[in-house]
Amino acid sequence: PVVLEFYSDDCPRCREAARRLYDVEVAHAGDVDWVMVDTQNEANRPLWEKLGVDEIPHFSFLD
């Protein structure tokens, strides 16, 4: 399984979510791939548009 975490460095809610979920990410290391997707990087735009990301933080779970 893969978790896509859409974020921006200047987003306070994103920083809070990352802080709160860090232990979950560590606990499932090796079982779940956690991919951080920076919405400020234009190269990522096709992905977040395809998945309908309209606010951040946003999490997509892929199996």
Domain boundaries defined on the chain = 2-62
- Which pLDDT score, from 0 to 100, does residue 53 have? 97
**One-letter identity of residue 10:** D
Decide the pairing of beta strands 2-7 and 33-38: parallel
Overall average pLDDT of the 55-61 stretch: 97
Q: 7-37, pLDDT tens digit by residue?
A: 999 999 999 999 999 999 999 999 999 999 9
Domain 2-62: assigned CATH number: 3.40.30.10
Reported confidence tier of residue 59, pLDDT bands at 50, 70, 90 = very high
- Which pLDDT score, from 0 to 100, does residue 38 have? 97
Q: What is the pTM of this model?
A: 0.89
What is the DSSP secondary-structure string of 27-43? HTTTTSEEEEEETTSGG
Q: Is the Cβ–Cβ distance between 34 and 1 less than 8 Å? A: no
- Which pLDDT score, from 0 to 100, does residue 7 have? 98
